[in-house]
Amino acid sequence: MASSSVSTHPTKRPARLSQSAFAWILIAPAMLFIAVIVAWPLAETFRLSFTDTRIGPNYSYVGTENYQDLAESRKFKQTVSRTFYWMFLSVSLKLVLGLIGATLLNAAVPGRALFRILVLPPWVIPIAIGMIGWLWLYNGAFGLLSGVLQSLDIVDKSFEFLAYKRSAFYSAVVADVWVGVPMVTLFLLAAMQGVSRDLYEAAWVDGASRWYRFRRITIPQIMPVIVSMSLLSAIFTFNSFEIIWILTEGGPRSSTTTMIIDSYKTAFSSRKFGEGAARTIVIVCLLGLFSIAYLWVLNKVTKYYGTK
Amino acid sequence: MSTLDLKSVSKSFGDAKVLHDIELSIKDKEFVVFVGPSGCGKSTLLRIIAGLEEATKGTLHIDGEDVSDAHPVDRGISMVFQSYALYPHLSVFENIAFPLRVAKMPEAELKERVARAADILQLTDKLKLKPGQLSGGQRQRVAIGRSIVREPKIFLFDEPLSNLDAALRGDMRVELSQLHRNLQATMIYVTHDQVEAMTMADRIVVLNAGRVEQFGTPMELYHHPATKFVASFIGQPNMNFLPAKVTGTGTTGLAVQIDGGPALTLPVETSSAAVGDSVEVGIRPEDMAQGSGGLKLNVSVVERLGGTSITYGTTDAGTRICAALDGVANVREGETTELVLDPKDCHVFDASGTVMRRLQAPELAN
């Protein structure tokens, strides 16, 4: 009986796709989408970077000439180091301020829900509008900051923040930090709230001071989030375009020109698409390397600090 | 010396009063267990003793000194948390050393103390591991290690075994009892598990709705429960309560007629009872046996455990009964059997749930 029941039905199963073929079909739309909006433009940029394409329809392949020019250009090297300085300074400030902000927002004070909401505006309002606000603040003739500094006798005449190389650079950093801090704050706050209360109570019972608890419990416990936030923040800051563009357009005298601004100016202001493409390929490579290094660090940190 | 005295300690959270005038005196080197159902206030009471919560009213004295406002370190207490509260990023060594690092103890002494604690708790070969690499029982021991290195006067345990599986719980109970003997320290232990309370405690505090129902040795609680609540909470399976009417009082005992059952004369103090009063006769499942002329039981379920047969059913008056009968007892589901009640095993509770003291309880209980 048993053998006959097995032999009567074996061909009734419908023809089926193999599991992997089915999986490919499922992810195909997403793959296609990514191919069209990411892979193809990237490949085009890569191709463009080996040409001398300008506004006209004719161009020719120039080999690695664009890259050689970059390697020999003193100005480009300055731009690269300026970009990394910009990134380092801005990300450090965002993390430090974010950590302080998250700690304060995590404190049991009355009305802390309100404070948590009040942190959001820099992040929520469109960057362009925020930057117009900063333009007004930095304005020498009618700007609030200059006015306050004058009335406090710190400067004796009106000060145009965005008019000098150094002050323009640091003013742009301040505006960038202003935009970036809320996100860092909220992510760190969320991480802090995930730390078990028992750990703090146990440490408190053992006599640990507030600072000691912060140093030996909070920081290690949120370290994986600190590391991943710094990676995200670093990439955002590296690629931060509209903040600088609206405030200074990379000036004065290139003092706020980061790699992304430089690429834009080369490609779209000077219409040297080939050279601009070469610059963006350098950015992609640098950020790629940077991300790999960061993920490696993140992995180490997560392992070191253990899971909860 | 380390005694603990709570004087009229009360605690409210907003309008909710969770502890009512708690008076307790805990002796030196005593192992005291706070036991009670969820929400009875036992953990809150422990947290007040630890200093994690402030009492709304009342004072706390350790060795006669008022420490109501003192920091836990100055109180000389340490606490083991239900979640263990181990620092996941620190090694076992650093977890145990944590309180000593806080106290800035010199490295040599610190190492020695951690080594000693690790030795007591059999953690010596685990010191380099992280808590995540340990089993539940080992984590528990690390948490205990962290509390013993500071050499506190009083140890507090907040349901420390509730996250362990049953077998490990049994082992850890024995280990904790041994630890108590070795350290010769005062320990206060919170649990909702009456087995833990009965097996480990020198004395048990039974809490109910923020009040101390009874404070006594495990045998006192078992044989002389002060209230119906204690009687029903201590003992497994739970005590049976049979509604009855008082038919006579005298110096030798109380004559009662059990609803749907026999008339008995029970050897208890009768000063508070009068003829006609409604009372409840309490009898433990293990004190019941099959026999003729007793209480008729309509058997609904029999759980045969081998050594005993836990038999559930109802009396003719509809009272639900559980009896722990002999393993091979002749009882069947759907049939009836008769149970004899030995008067000296019976507890009597008046309408308010207060006990009438038994006159013939076993000697060990007194």
pLDDT tens by residue, A238-255? 888 889 999 888 878 888
Residue A283, CA atoms < 13 Å, CB-side half-sphere: 26
Q: Is residue A4 predicted with pLDDT exceeding 50?
A: no
Residue A205 CA to its chain's centroid (Å): 40
The mean pLDDT value for B332-344 works out to: 90
Contacts of A212 in chain B (CB under 8 A): 102
Residue B268, domain CATH: 2.40.50.100
pLDDT category at B46 given cuts 50, 70, 90 is very high
Do residues B126 and B247 share a domain?
A: no
Contact criterion met (CB below 8 Å) for A93 and A230 = no
For A306, the token pair is 């253990």
Sign of CA dihedral B12, B80, A307, B167: negative
Do residues B58 and B188 share a domain?
A: yes
Residue B97 CA to its chain's centroid (Å): 31
Q: Which residues make Cβ contacts (< 8 Å) with residue A263, sequence separation at least 6?
A: A276, A279, A280, A283
Residue B73, domain CATH: 3.40.50.300
Do residues B289 and B341 share a domain?
A: yes
Q: Is residue A6 predicted with pLDDT exceeding 50?
A: no
Q: Do B83 and A216 lie within an 8 Å CB cutoff? A: no
Q: Do B99 and A207 lie within an 8 Å CB cutoff? A: yes
Helices (H) and strands (E) in chain B, counts: 9, 20
Residue range A265-306, pLDDT digits in tens: 888 888 888 889 999 999 999 889 988 988 888 888 877 776
Contact criterion met (CB below 8 Å) for B280 and B259 = no
Do residues B139 and B37 share a domain?
A: yes
Q: How many domains does chain B have?
A: 2
The mean pLDDT value for B179-199 works out to: 89
Sign of CA dihedral B230, B234, B238, B241: negative
Q: Is residue B365 predicted with pLDDT exceeding 80?
A: no
Q: Do B98 and A307 lie within an 8 Å CB cutoff? A: no
Do residues B213 and B279 share a domain?
A: no
Q: Which residues are paired to B256 by β-bridges?
A: B246, B264
Q: Is residue A136 predicted with pLDDT exceeding 80?
A: yes
Contact criterion met (CB below 8 Å) for B231 and B239 = yes
Q: Do A205 and B79 lie within an 8 Å CB cutoff? A: yes
Do residues B136 and B207 share a domain?
A: yes
Do residues B178 and B295 share a domain?
A: no
Q: Which residues make Cβ contacts (< 8 Å) with residue B158, sequence separation at least 6?
A: B43, B46, B47, B79, B80, B81, B82, B190
Contacts of B79 in chain A (CB under 8 A): 202, 205
Contacts of A308 in chain B (CB under 8 A): 88
Do residues B201 and B336 share a domain?
A: no
Residue range A204-227, pLDDT digits in tens: 988 888 899 999 999 999 988 998
Q: Is residue A115 predicted with pLDDT exceeding 90?
A: no
Q: How far is CA A293 from CA A235, A300, A305, B125, B252, in A?
A: 13, 11, 18, 35, 88
Could you state, in order of their start, the residue ranges of all structural domains in chain A? 48-108+172-305
Do residues B192 and B278 share a domain?
A: no
The mean pLDDT value for A181-195 works out to: 92
Do residues B306 and B250 share a domain?
A: yes
The mean pLDDT value for A95-100 works out to: 93
Chain A residue closest in CA terms to B90 = A305
Chain A residue closest in CA terms to B156 = A205
Q: ipTM score here? A: 0.79
The last residue of a domain, from among B207, B232, B257: B232
Contacts of A207 in chain B (CB under 8 A): 71-73, 99, 102-103
The last residue of a domain, from among B177, B204, B232: B232
Task: Work out how many CB contacts closer than 8 A connect A with B.
Answer: 65
Q: Do B83 and A304 lie within an 8 Å CB cutoff? A: no
Q: Which residues are paired to B245 by β-bridges?
A: B257, B278
Contacts of A198 in chain B (CB under 8 A): 81-83, 85
Q: Is residue B352 predicted with pLDDT exceeding 80?
A: yes
* Range(s) of the domain holding residue B344: 238-365
Q: According to the model, what pLDDT value does residue B301 have?
A: 93
Q: What is the CATH number of domain A48-108+172-305?
A: 1.10.3720.10
Q: Is residue A148 predicted with pLDDT exceeding 90?
A: no
Whole-structure pTM over 0.80, yes or no? Answer: no
Do residues B225 and B243 share a domain?
A: no
Residue range A36-83, pLDDT digits in tens: 999 999 999 999 888 888 887 888 888 888 888 888 888 889 999 999
Chain A residue closest in CA terms to B133 = A306
- Coil, strand, or helix at residue B266? strand
Do residues B260 and B217 share a domain?
A: no
Contact criterion met (CB below 8 Å) for B24 and B4 = yes
Residue B108 burial (10 A CB sphere; 0-12, 13-18, 19+): exposed
The last residue of a domain, from among B191, B217, B232: B232
Q: According to the model, what pLDDT value does residue A161 have?
A: 80
pLDDT category at B364 given cuts 50, 70, 90 is low
| Bigger pLDDT: A69 vs B204 | B204
- Percent of chain A having pLDDT more than 90? 32
Q: Is residue B130 predicted with pLDDT exceeding 80?
A: yes
Interface of B with A (CB under 8 A): 50-52, 71-73, 77-79, 81-83, 85, 87-90, 98-99, 102-103, 130-132, 146, 150
Helices (H) and strands (E) in chain A, counts: 16, 0
